[in-house]
Amino acid sequence: MNLLLTSVGRRSYLVRYFKEVIGEGGVVCAANSSDLSPAFAAADRTVVTPLIYDDHYIPFLLDYCKKENIQVLLSLFDIDLPILSRHKAEFAAQGVQVIVSDPEVIDVCNDKLLMSIFLRERDFATPDCYLSVEEAKEAVEAGSLCYPVMIKPRWGMGSLAIYQADNEEELEVFYQKSKREIGRSYLKYESEADLEHAVLIQQRIGGQEYGLDVIQDLNRIYQTTIVKEKIAMRSGETDCARVVELPNLRELGAKIGSELGHIANLDMDIILSDGIPYIIDMNARFGGGYPYSHMAGVNLPRVILDWVRGQKADPTDLCAETGKLYGKDIVMTELGR
């Protein structure tokens, strides 16, 4: 079986995880729009692609999959997901199974306004969203919003263009700054759907942050939830964490999986505040917190390949040991000349 991971960037650990389980004769290929991708060093084969929103992107991938006899394709980047999801049938016709959720699932996860609406309609706790400085000011005057507030891209990932405003002056300045940064980054592509409302303002929720891996099979049947207590963060990613046993958050993951209907992994960010789990973010892909689940005993890459082969996954590959503390390291990689 040959596998293609797109938009690999610096996720060399995921390339290695799949290489460990691909099987005899299998090949793990890595793709990215830049050859300055550290994860390339871990792959069996590599390819530089057109940009995701280039008209030639999907034809390029289809041609590459045919040339390299690819049977499975996964993306590691939010911006990639809606494009691949809309073209799943074209890959399937060529014998390539794209491990990506349906377009409506991707839209809910990538668009934080749609996510908020989706969650509130189903009585899940999540911060209120405001689409303009004027709306936020009115909410402050009405007493339904108070400082500090968070300013973030409606279509965003990581910590790009996210600010905390402690007063009205900062709200106005950071709102405009976030809009400018969106326009100068890859976030501009999805934001083109509604540029006037591409920035959200939310109440800042205080409390302990957790990351969840909500795992479902390729038929959208719920399997398990792995809960990680975040100990330290860096640039929007979990830097240090431990797997913990919190039944209420595992139950929350099961409910979200049932309502959302994603496949494979759903990466979720939760803030537990006064006993209430607020859902802050959802990403329908392997997230930056997955390595903590993997270190604790989960092997989702092997499980996914078992499912693709039509085999039953080993239940132990979906179990995690609790209590141990893990941290990410920085490793130097040679990128060539």
Q: How confident is the model at residue 170 (pLDDT cuts 50, 70, 90)?
A: very high
Give the pLDDT mean for 245-260. 97
The 8-class DSSP code of residue 315 comes to: G
Residue 103 structure tokens: 């377009």
Angle at 92 between CA 186 and CA 283, to 5 degrees: 35
pLDDT of residue 164: 96
Show Cβ contacts of residue 87 under 8 Å, excluding neighbours closer than 6 positions.
Answer: 58, 98
Whether residue 336 is predicted with pLDDT greater than 80 in this model: the reply is no
151 touches 199 (CB < 8 A): yes
Helix (H, G, I), strand (E, B) or coil at 265: strand
Sequence-distant contacts of 272-277: CB under 8 A, at least 24 apart:
272/207, 272/208, 272/209, 272/210, 273/205, 273/206, 273/207, 274/207, 276/125, 277/125, 277/210, 277/248, 277/249, 277/252
pLDDT of residue 48: 98
pLDDT of residue 80: 94
Residue 124 structure tokens: 């899940």
The 8-class DSSP code of residue 319 comes to: -
CA distance linking residue 205 with residue 196, whole number of Å: 25
Residue 83 structure tokens: 């494009």
Show Cβ contacts of residue 63 under 8 Å, excluding neighbours closer than 6 positions.
Answer: none
Judged by average pLDDT, the poorest of 121-125, 151-155, 309-313, 327-331 is 327-331
CA distance linking residue 265 with residue 212, whole number of Å: 10
> How do residues 299-330 score in pLDDT, each as one tens digit?
999 999 999 999 999 999 999 999 999 998 88
pLDDT of residue 196: 84
> How do residues 48-98 score in pLDDT, each as one tens digit?
999 999 999 999 999 999 999 999 999 999 999 999 999 999 999 999 999
Phi, psi of 93 (to 5 degrees): -65, -20
CA distance linking residue 79 with residue 318, whole number of Å: 27
Give me the residues paired with residue 217 across strands: none
pLDDT of residue 337: 67
> How do residues 270-305 score in pLDDT, each as one tens digit?
999 999 999 999 999 999 899 999 999 999 999 999
CA distance linking residue 275 with residue 122, whole number of Å: 19
Judged by average pLDDT, the poorest of 15-19, 77-81, 117-121, 156-160 is 156-160
- What's the mean pLDDT when you consider all of the chain? 94
Whether residue 250 is predicted with pLDDT greater than 80 in this model: the reply is yes
CA distance linking residue 231 with residue 151, whole number of Å: 23
CA distance linking residue 214 with residue 252, whole number of Å: 9
Show Cβ contacts of residue 45 under 8 Å, excluding neighbours closer than 6 positions.
Answer: 27, 28, 29, 30, 68
Scan for tokens 């503390």, then name that residue: 325
Residue 301 structure tokens: 């890459």
> How do residues 178-230 score in pLDDT, each as one tens digit?
999 998 888 877 787 777 889 999 999 999 999 999 999 999 999 999 999 99
